[in-house]
Structure 1
């Protein structure tokens, strides 16, 4: 079974948020695995990873090219949008920063570029006008992203990457963390732009399951302790059930919505990321959910890869 055949409908990608965590060494990562081999190793256990570094600072085009070269051909990254746009500028005067972000190298991922995640802080209440302007600025395909990237600030100079190998759709997802977003008008605004509302499983922020795009984006932070608690068998069974419903074009019976039910369709893709890393549960939970859905890791059809561990070869 390939990733695109899973979930009884649309494609399903299950992954982790980031990959560089010291507590994972000797637990998820084999003891002695070199840090440079952590991404190649992790990308052969799951089918997608969120790149978090883009949230904190501008990355270099070479980094994206290197990341793309280190993962299997059927692997996909999601990219976290910069906090400079969402947390500091708070969606005001963002034309230049948005162009700079598009030029930072993410287009170097080519076919391995997945959704762009825009996460908003808990102290950012809903402002429909501001969001409407922001959503209208987001490029809907890589050609539009490349054109926007060409308008980057001069300080980038030779640190910009604005070329594409071919034009592909570009997906965006919005993660909110304030109760004011329990608003049907916000859901309809996202639907009008085809932007996904992130379903964030957490004890602190709204958990909404409104379908607003042709794909779903789930962030599983830990429903008992933020970023820390794991998911037991019953919880993973529930998420697998919901994912099957979404990929088949419907919605789960327990969907938590503030807007009207989405129009049924033949299939929807689902991206789900575990972000409960403090207790080293994210990789195990991701693999547990993949098993329930009958999903292979990325690169399952590739020849096995070995990694040097403490001077001896160690197969993944």
Structure 2
């Protein structure tokens, strides 16, 4: 059975869920005792020193994994073009996670349509420096007509399944089928709404029936729903 890697976007444990995690230690150490993965989103906004990544890696169990979001300088400012220097800097930083580094998350701006030449050139640049898992989260409607999935699948890159979906087709995983990466932002109110028990049960059944490796990241963190949802889904998949 492929693993279910379930966690949240960030690890600062809200007060209302503190009792669900061990007492004592840093938020990350407490988080890592209950949940097996986390998504680092702060890397999108600012760089972190290599020593910071090394400290984070040393804080969690051996089997724990970090997903890390690529910087907005690369994706939203440069829009994937001429990104050699910031990409090299970012990869040097995250390398200090060592074997605990999981997928890199390439989230694209909503206005960036599918351009096979542009994305192909960027992925070639990235793959020349990084051979680990990479997932792509496009948000423009032109990415969901089949051509983009074929390009990603041919390069071994999954397409994120997002909720709420930014475009028709975005709610389903795409691209390379060997890994499924779900980003669940809360619905109907994005970043706030918890998921109903029935929704989590349906997702758990889907995960159990699919032999691929699954990452499920809850990003409905604004009022703390993500931590309860992640723990509930983890329980349902055992």
Please give the TM-score of this superposition, normalised by the length of structure 2.
0.92
Structure 2 Cα separation of the partners of residues 135 and 129 of structure 1: 10
Q: Corresponding residue for 1:154? A: none
Give the Å deviation of 1:236.
0.2
Identify which of structures 1 and 2 has the higher relative contact order when contacts are C-alpha pairs closer than 8 Å and 6+ apart.
Answer: 1
Give the Å deviation of 1:211.
4.6
Structure 1 Cα separation of the partners of residues 124 and 166 of structure 2: 29
CA displacement 1:251-280 (0-9 Å, x = unmatched) = xxxxxxxxxxxxxxxxx2111100001221
Q: Corresponding residue for 2:112? A: 124
Question: Is the contact made by 1:203 and 1:225 (CA closer than 8 Å) also made in structure 2?
Answer: no
The equivalent position to 2:201 in structure 1, one of 228, 237, 243, is 237
Structure 2 Cα separation of the partners of residues 92 and 34 of structure 1: 46
Question: Is the contact made by 2:37 and 2:64 (CA closer than 8 Å) also made in structure 1?
Answer: yes
Paired residues for 1:153-172 under 5 Å: 170-172=132-134
Q: Corresponding residue for 2:143? A: 181
Structure 1 Cα separation of the partners of residues 133 and 99 of structure 2: 13
Q: Corresponding residue for 1:139? A: 127
CA displacement 1:201-221 (0-9 Å, x = unmatched) = 115443232252421111111
Structure 1 unpaired stretches of 5+:
1-8, 146-168, 249-267, 295-316
Question: Is the contact made by 2:160 and 2:182 (CA closer than 8 Å) also made in structure 1?
Answer: yes
Structure 1 Cα separation of the partners of residues 221 and 231 of structure 2: 14
Task: Give structure 1 regions of 4+ aligned residues with deviation exceeding 4 angstroms.
Answer: 33-36
Question: Is the contact made by 1:29 and 1:38 (CA closer than 8 Å) also made in structure 2?
Answer: no
Give the Å deviation of 1:139.
2.5
Give the Å deviation of 1:179.
1.4
The equivalent position to 1:279 in structure 2, one of 219, 223, 226, is 223
Q: Does 1:18 align with 2:10?
A: yes
Q: Does 1:63 align with 2:55?
A: no
Give the Å deviation of 1:97.
1.5
Structure 2 unpaired stretches of 5+:
none
2:188 partner SS: coil
Q: Corresponding residue for 1:156? A: none
Aligned length: 234
Paired residues for 1:1-316 under 5 Å: 9-20=1-12, 24=14, 26-29=15-18, 37-104=26-93, 106-139=94-127, 144-145=129-130, 170-202=132-164, 204-205=166-167, 206-246=170-210, 248=211, 268-294=212-238
1:86 partner SS: helix
Structure 2 Cα separation of the partners of residues 55 and 272 of structure 1: 19
**Cα RMSD, aligned residues only:** 1.9
For the pair shown, the structure with the greater C-alpha radius of gyration is: 1
